[in-house]
Amino acid sequence: QVQLVESGGGLVQAGGSLRLSCAASRSLFSINVMGWHRQAPGKQRELVEAVTRGGTTNYADSVTGRFSISRDVAKNTVYLIMNSLKPEDTAVYYCNAVDAMGGSWGQGTQVTVSS
C-alpha cells in the first residue's frame, strides 16, 4: 500500500484560498489515480478532484472553476488548490491513491470556511 501524508488544512474566511498537499511514499508514476475526497459532518464522503497517472482529471461539479489539482512528480506530491472557498466547502479532506493493490487513504485534514 501507499502511505499518504496530508497537510495544509486550516481555517479561512469565505472567498479565501488554501492549498492542500499529499505526499506519497513512492513515485506517482506507480499509482493509477491520485485524488482528493471530502466528508462533511453528517454526509457521505465525496470525490472532489482526481488525476490519473496520464494526467486526466475528474472533479465534482461543485468545485468547477474554483479548485484544481496539480502534481509534483519529483516530490511524489499532489496538491489541491482551492480558491473562492465557501462555507459549504467545510469538511475533512482526504487524499486517496489507487494502484494495482487497491486503495489507500491519508489521515485527513480539516478545512473550515467561515462566513
- What is the 3-class SS of the chain, one letter each residue? CCCEEEECCEEEECCCCEEEEEEECCCHHHCCEEEEEEECCCCCCEEEEEEECCCCEEECHHHCCCEEEEEEHHHCEEEEEECCCCHHHCEEEEEEEEECCEEEECCCEEEEEEC
- Across the chain, which has 115 residues, the per-10-residue mean pLDDT values are 94 98 95 97 96 93 96 96 98 96 94 97
**Chain centroid offset of residue 105 CA:** 11
**Residue showing cell 506517482:** 28
Q: What is the pLDDT of residue 25?
A: 96
Q: What is the pLDDT of residue 1?
A: 86
Q: What is the pLDDT of residue 110?
A: 97
Q: What is the pLDDT of residue 93?
A: 98
Q: What is the pLDDT of residue 81?
A: 98
